[in-house]
């Protein structure tokens, strides 16, 4: 092993490909079922906003300005059989739907999100 490379992190690669592009975390946060930023958790950047428009429907507004991003969502449920999905993705916002699998109905659920930029 080359002693000059011992402490260097190797860039990940898929078999037969050059390098794998590393995403950048653009934002993350925790949202209450009422559609507010969860003050008990980190919400970054603070300039992003969240609004609950109806039962189980939330919009997070950001300033990314393009569609080259991914949204990871996790519902925080106190009961079983809850769902969350990315309903729409725009250049400056994305919509989240939450609900209950019992009857497939919309319901207000707290959730967490992470937004990754694809560079």
* CA-based max dimension of the chain: 61
Residue 69 lies in a domain: yes
Residue 66 lies in a domain: yes
pLDDT tens profile 36-48: 999 888 899 999 9
- Rg value, the chain, Cα: 18
State which residues form the domain around 56: 21-117
Q: For residue 96, is pLDDT > 80?
A: yes
pTM (two decimals): 0.81
- Of 38, 22, 29, 31, nearest to 114 by C-alpha is 29
Buried b (16+ CB within 10 A) or exposed e, 65-81: eeeebebebeebbeeee
The tokens for 8 are 């260097």
pLDDT computed for residue 1 by the predictor = 47
* Number of separate domains in the chain: 1
Residue 13 lies in a domain: no
Residue 25 lies in a domain: yes
Q: What would the DSSP string read from start to end of 20-74?
A: PPPPEEEEEEEE-TTSSB-TTS--BSTT-EEEEEETTEEEEE----SS-EEEEEE
């Amino acid at each position: 092993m080359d002693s000059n490379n011992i402490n260097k992190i190797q860039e990940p690669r898929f078999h037969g490909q050059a390098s794998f592009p590393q995403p950048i975390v653009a934002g993350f946060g925790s949202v209450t079922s009422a559609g507010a930023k969860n003050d008990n958790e980190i919400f970054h950047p603070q300039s992003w906003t969240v609004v609950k428009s109806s039962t189980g429907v939330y919009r997070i507004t950001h300033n990314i300005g393009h569609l080259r991003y991914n949204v990871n969502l996790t519902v925080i449920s106190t009961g079983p059989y809850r769902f969350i999905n990315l309903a729409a993705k725009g250049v400056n916002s994305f919509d989240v739907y939450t609900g209950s699998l019992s009857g497939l109905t919309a319901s207000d659920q707290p959730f967490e999100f992470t937004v990754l930029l694809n560079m």
